[in-house]
Amino acid sequence: MYIYTDFDRNFLRARVAEFRDQVERRIDGSLTEDEFKPLRLMNGLYLQLHAYMLRVAIPYGSLRSAQMRKLAEIADRWDKGYGHFTTRQNIQFNWPKLSDVPDMLDALADVNMHAIQTSGNCIRNVTADHFAGATPDEVEDPRITAELIRQWSTDHPEFAYLPRKFKLAVTGTEEDRAVIRFHDIGIRVREQDGEVGYQIVIGGGLGRTPMIGKVVREFLPRADLFAYLEAILKVYNLSGRRDNKYKARIKILVHETGLEELKSRIETEFATQKRLLPDLNPEVVANVRASFVTPAFKDTDFDPNKAQSPALRAFLDTNARDHARADHASVTVSIKPIGGTPGDATSDQMRALADIAEAYGYDELRISHEQNVILPHVHRADLPAVYDALRAAGLATANVGLISDIIACPGMDYCALATARSIPIAQQIGEAFSDLDAQHDIGPLKIKISGCINACGHHHVGHIGILGLDRAGVENYQITLGGDGTEEAAVGTRTGPGFAYDEIVPAVERLIEAYLDQRLSPEETFLAAYRRLGLAPFKDALYGDAHAKAA
């Protein structure tokens, strides 16, 4: 993991002091609310439905135990004893007082954490594959590149007041778990003729206008990384629309300008930047790389055929995956207990996770964009002990990747923008399919729920997407099918009219019945069946005979 230097630490303390001063100036009136807004946003502070919300950055989702414990302490001391892990691998505290926020930021700085650039129209926290450094199939740990980008984008003088927020994600594998096709800039580390470089994708995004990102460079040499990013951001800063915030993301610029024209503008600017900026210094890269050394893995002897309890086996089947080392595994801890709020963790659970990571996980934790927590490196001999400890903490739900592993935005329960509730829908779906054996039979399925068209719940890339809207004061839920955030990127297709609050869960149940009826075999996933069958049988299931007759 990246090890903070004195420079990083001093930078953080200076920024906290600056924000403390800004809060004081807001309170004494020398900053107006309009002027304060971009400043608090740049420090991760939102005004929500009920209170301020502080969003803390977890760069590329990587955490140490001490950092997780500090998050628990903050939750207890300044919030209501819990935190909410987000789809940007961050954590949000929903109930801080404005006057407490500088102290919270100081507490975060104690463990090299911060809330810088977690909101506002700037370059946001960079995300990366949550199995980075542990997965068997990667060209290189994508966090090296993500950390370089974090440094480059932090407090960048030119790009703090962009037309709109700007998100980057990095993957080090062909299989894309970082959803790079749906980011403003998506980066895939790749190798060409023995040289490590990048495939660059721009203009992807969800929100009101979902778009799949387009490749703007098949191979960018590593030395040119910053010059190229500078070029894209300069073009976007000057050409992105500022007249309408819903048309201000780079995806709209790509769409309205056309990829070829925009690409040529970027390449022209890149040529200038390449002339002016030095190549990315290999020494800088080497220093960052040295921070991401793999832990000293244990060589404990263990019997891979040792008998396991059915519960442990079921847990490992769903929540564990192969590691780059055969004698290790990565364990995903579901923060989606049946009937719970997706992504919410109590301070006790955070401390339990910190303890488990310290005892069995080389002190490393990850937050996934699917709102789960990952122990990236666990020796297989320790898996039973990890399972027992998770169970004791109420964290052993064996549902990763299954129907109840739902992504949901906070919805109308917390968010000022939401037009419908999301969390209760997730809870009710979880309860409707509470039998884990039945969930295993249904197999891999991603349900994603957004409580408004801004799509924070990523419903466009859900195999089943649910979008909650307001129709004349009544909640109405639209369904999309076939979305996919991986390398096979697809935006879900709307099935037809929406469903009322009390109709949406039965509608999902009908979709699942239709799938189970029509799949070729248990190996054919919901998504595969949808791709083979198309929308028709699912529409029949949703809308019944009326639809069948009309069609």
Residues near other proteins (CB under 8 A): 7, 10-11, 14, 17-18, 21-22, 25, 29-32, 35, 38-39, 121, 148, 151-152, 154-162, 226, 234, 237-238, 242, 272, 276-281, 284
Q: Give min distance, CB of 276 to other proteins, in A.
A: 6
AA identity, residue 17 = A
Q: Give min distance, CB of 81 to other proteins, in A.
A: 33
Q: Give min distance, CB of 26 to other proteins, in A.
A: 11
What is the total residue count of the chain? 551
Of the pair 265, 369, the CB lying nearest other proteins is at 265
Q: Give min distance, CB of 106 to other proteins, in A.
A: 16
Q: CA 480, CA 512: separation in Å to the nearest integer?
A: 14
Backbone angles phi, psi at 115, to 5 degrees: -125, 20
Of the pair 279, 488, the CB lying nearest other proteins is at 279
Of the pair 40, 379, the CB lying nearest other proteins is at 40
Q: CA 437, CA 421: separation in Å to the nearest integer?
A: 28
Q: Give min distance, CB of 290 to other proteins, in A.
A: 16
Q: Give min distance, CB of 287 to other proteins, in A.
A: 11
Of the pair 155, 413, the CB lying nearest other proteins is at 155
Q: Give min distance, CB of 321 to other proteins, in A.
A: 34
Q: Give min distance, CB of 173 to other proteins, in A.
A: 26
DSSP annotation of 551 reads: -
Q: CA 32, CA 102: separation in Å to the nearest integer?
A: 18
**Residue 97 CB coordination number (10 Å):** 12
Cα-Cα-Cα-Cα dihedral sign, residues 76, 78, 84, 86? negative
Who's near 532: CB < 8 A, 6+ residues apart?
Answer: 520, 524
Q: Give min distance, CB of 291 to other proteins, in A.
A: 15
3-class DSSP string for 189-209: EEEECCEEEEEEEECCECCCC
Of the pair 17, 51, the CB lying nearest other proteins is at 17
CB 112, CB 37: distance < 8 Å: no
Using the CB atoms, write b or e for 104-115: b if 16+ within 10 Å. Answer: bbebbbebbbbb
Of the pair 20, 494, the CB lying nearest other proteins is at 20
Of the pair 30, 300, the CB lying nearest other proteins is at 30
Q: CA 66, CA 46: separation in Å to the nearest integer?
A: 26
- Residue entry with tokens 């819990």: 82
Q: Give min distance, CB of 118 to other proteins, in A.
A: 17
E strands in 241-381: 320-322, 328-333, 344-346, 364-367, 373-379
Tokens at residue 237, please? Answer: 């800063």
Of the pair 241, 510, the CB lying nearest other proteins is at 241
Q: CA 451, CA 457: separation in Å to the nearest integer?
A: 7
At residue 202's C-alpha, the angle toward residues 200 and 205, to 5°, is 135
| 52 beta partners | 47
Tokens at residue 381, please? Answer: 């001999």
Of the pair 223, 324, the CB lying nearest other proteins is at 223
Of the pair 37, 531, the CB lying nearest other proteins is at 37
